[in-house]
A and B are shown apart, each in its own frame.
Chain A
C-alpha cells in the first residue's frame, strides 16, 4: 500500500530558529512530491519536486528531494510566528487513467515569540 510518512508529528520552536521537516514515501509509480502549508483553512501549495538533488527556494523556505532515499526535507530558516501551521507532504503517482495525491499526516509546527 502506498504511504507517505512525515516526521516529527509536531514541533515547537522559538522565533529565529531553523527547522527541518521530513517526509519519506513508499509509492509505486512515483511522479512528484509536494509540500503544502495549512493554517486554518485549505492547504496552500508551497513546492513541487520532481528531480532529485535540485533545491527549490521561496524566501526562507527551501526543499529538496532525494529519490534514492525516497525522502524530502522542508527547511524553514529564521522562523516567525506566522510560520505556525501544519505542513503537509503529498506524493503524486501515476495511477490508472490519472494520477493521485497521497498525503502524509502532517507536521504541526508552532513558533513561539
Chain B
C-alpha cells in the first residue's frame, strides 16, 4: 500500500490556467506538508498543516492555496499559473512530534508552457 500518494504524477498546462494537485496519506499522521523542488533541485517547504490547520506558510505567492479537508488529505490549488511555477511538488506527512520522520510522496512534475 502506498503511504503517501499524489495525483497527478505529471501535469502539463498553459500559463494562466488553474490547477490542483492532490495528496493523501494512509499513515495516520497528523501533519502534512507541501514542498517545491526547482530545476536546481532545491527543496523548499511551502506549507505545513497540522490537524487541518495551517502551521507553516512560507513566502509563497497567494496564488497557491492549500486545502485540507481532513487529516489524511492536503491538496494544493494553484491559480493563474506562471512559467516559474514549473517544478516538482512533493507532499509529505509526519507526526507533529516527529517532524524529522517525514514520508514523502512520489512528487508531481508540473510544467507550465
State which size class the interface on A falls in. Answer: 20 to 34
A-B contact pairs, 10 of them (CB 8 A): A38-B41, A42-B107, A45-B101, A86-B41, A90-B43, A96-B56, A98-B96, A105-B41, A106-B43, A108-B41
Tell me the B residues contacting A by CB distance below 8 Å. 31, 40-45, 48, 50, 55-56, 90, 96, 99-102, 104-107
The 5 closest A-B pairs by CB, nearest first: A42-B104, A99-B99, A103-B43, A98-B96, A92-B100
Assembled-state Cα–Cα distance A101/B44 (Å) = 9
Q: Is the CB of B41 within 8 A of A106?
A: yes
Q: What 1/0 mask marks residues of chain A from 76 to 103 whose CB sits below 8 Å from any chain B CB?
A: 0000000000101010100111111111
Shortest Cβ distance from residue A17 to the other chain B in the assembled complex, whole angstroms: 22
Interface residue from A41, A97, A100 paired with B107 (Cβ < 8 Å): A41
Assembled-state Cα–Cα distance A32/B101 (Å) = 11
CB-CB under 8 A from B100, the residues of chain A are: 31-32, 34, 48, 92, 99, 101
Shortest Cβ distance from residue A98 to the other chain B in the assembled complex, whole angstroms: 5
CB-CB under 8 A from B55, the residues of chain A are: 96-98
Closest to A99 in B: B99
- Given contacts A44-B104, A103-B42, A105-B42, could you give 19 more A-B pairs where the C-beta distance is less than 8 Å? A41-B107, A42-B107, A43-B43, A43-B90, A45-B101, A48-B101, A96-B55, A96-B56, A97-B96, A98-B50, A98-B55, A98-B56, A98-B96, A99-B100, A100-B99, A101-B45, A101-B100, A103-B44, A105-B40
